[in-house]
Structure 1
Amino acid sequence: MAKQYQAKITSLNGDKIGTQPTGEATFTVDGDTLTVEITMDHTSPNTQHWMHFHGFPDGRDAKPATSAQDTNHDGYVDLPETEPVSGTTMVPFNDRPEKMAIPTDTYPTSDANGHFHYKKEVPLKEMSDKFKEVFNDSDLHLEKRVIYIHGVPDSMDLPDTIQGAVGKYDQHTTLPIATGKIEEVR
């Protein structure tokens, strides 16, 4: 029987970015396939949105960040500020999650209304092998992870205090805009 996990995704930094992103993610493990489906509304329009699950390699239970994680008090919860409660970025939801290549330009882009839908069937063995190579554990432990949606338009004025640049990608790409706890539902 297939195992299913779900996350209700709610806004993070919405008061600062001018929109309150919401959505839902489902993860279905059926045999050697992980089907990931994510639907988001009210994101920044016409913007590519990086999406990942975050967690702790040592197996601790990850929690979604809240405004309480804004340790530098600039009004934003940036990527490094999520790490104490959510852990590290683990698996991307781009064109090839099983490759675990985080910085790519293959994430979904929202439409003019801030909506997008992502669905991907992922070869579970390939992902588990790569996960074991990177995190020394082949079990994804979805029930101990949180999902993050990132990204605001390059034109948005952000303070220099926001951290989280990854290579050529600046804080506009990595700013968390929504998060949710992944829970087993069956």
Structure 2
Amino acid sequence: MVEKYVADIKPLNDAVIGTKAHGTAEFINDGDVLHISIEMFDTPKNMQHWEHFHGFPDGKDAQVATMAQDINHDGVVDLPETEAVSGTTMVPFDAKPHEMNIPNDSYPVSDGQGHFKYEKDVSLADLKAQFKTVFGTDDLELDKRVIYVHGVPNELKLPASTGGNLNEKYDQHVTLPIATGKIVKAS
């Protein structure tokens, strides 16, 4: 049985970024394969954008972050501030989602107009096996997840209080959320 999930991806931190990144995501579960398609518009131009689904390993329903999550009131919702409502980073939409290797340099790159399209077919068996290793369950529960798109130019001045350093290798410019959307089951 084919299952389809979608997300309407809306801007986050657009007042700081200066652009309203937006797009759509589609996940089609077709037996042994998960087909992922994400198309984004008005992202920061000519740069790599990390993108993932986030959620709670215990199955709690994740929600998208809003400016209400700006708990330190610096005008930016950074990655650590999203965790209370969205959970943790789970599956990357990169060259090898099934490996769940979050920090890497194989994510999509936007063009001169801030557009990119990501399409990937992933073995569900491989993805679920790695998901179980990392999170203790092989149930992806897509309709309890949210998608985030990240990344702003290094030149963008961010408040010193902006967090997001992942493994001391990537700073807040790489991990700053620029758009987010709730994944829902399509009717």
* TM-score, normalised by the number of residues in structure 2: 0.98
Who is 2:82 aligned against?
Answer: 82
* 2-structure distance, mates of 1:152, 1:169: 12
Q: State the distance in 2 between where 1:179 and 1:106 align.
A: 20
1:159 offset after TM fit, Å? 1.4
Which structure 2 residues correspond to residues 165-180 of structure 1 after superposition, within 5 A?
Answer: 165-167=165-167, 168-180=169-181
Deviations 1:91-128 (A, max 9, x none): 00000000000000000000000000000000000000
RMSD of Structure 2 on Structure 1 (CA):
0.6
Q: How many residues align?
A: 186
Q: Distance in 1 between matches of 2:166 and 2:138?
A: 25
SS of 1:16's equivalent?
A: helix
Counterpart of 1:69 in structure 2 is: 69
Deviations 1:65-112 (A, max 9, x none): 000000000000000000000000000000000000000000000000
Measure, in 1, the Cα distance between the counterparts of 2:160 and 2:103: 21
Letter matched to residue 62 of structure 1 = A
Distance in 1 between the 2:93 and 2:160 partners? 27
Q: Find the aligned partners of 2:13 and 2:49 in 1 and give their Cα distance.
A: 15
Counterpart for residue 96 of structure 2: 96
Whether 2:184 is the aligned partner of 1:183: answer: yes
- Aligned equivalent of 1:113: 113
Structure 1 moving runs of 4+ over 3 Å: none
The amino acid that maps onto 1:50 is W
Question: 2:46: which partner in 1?
Answer: 46
Partners of 1:22 and 1:158 in 2: CA distance: 21
Q: Give me the whole-angstrom Cα distance separating, in 2, the residues matched to 1:153 and 1:48.
A: 9
The SS at the match of 1:107 is coil
Percent identical residues: 58
Amino acid aligned to 2:26: T
Gaps of 5+ in 2: none
- Tell me how far apart the structure 2 counterparts of residues 69 and 155 of structure 1 sit (CA, whole Å): 24
| Paired position in structure 2 for 1:25 | 25
Cα deviation code 1:132-183 (max 9, x no counterpart): 0100010100000000000001111111111011131110000000000000
**So what's the TM-score if we normalise by structure 1?**
0.99
Shift of 1:56: 0.3
Distance in 1, matches of 2:104 and 2:170, equals: 9
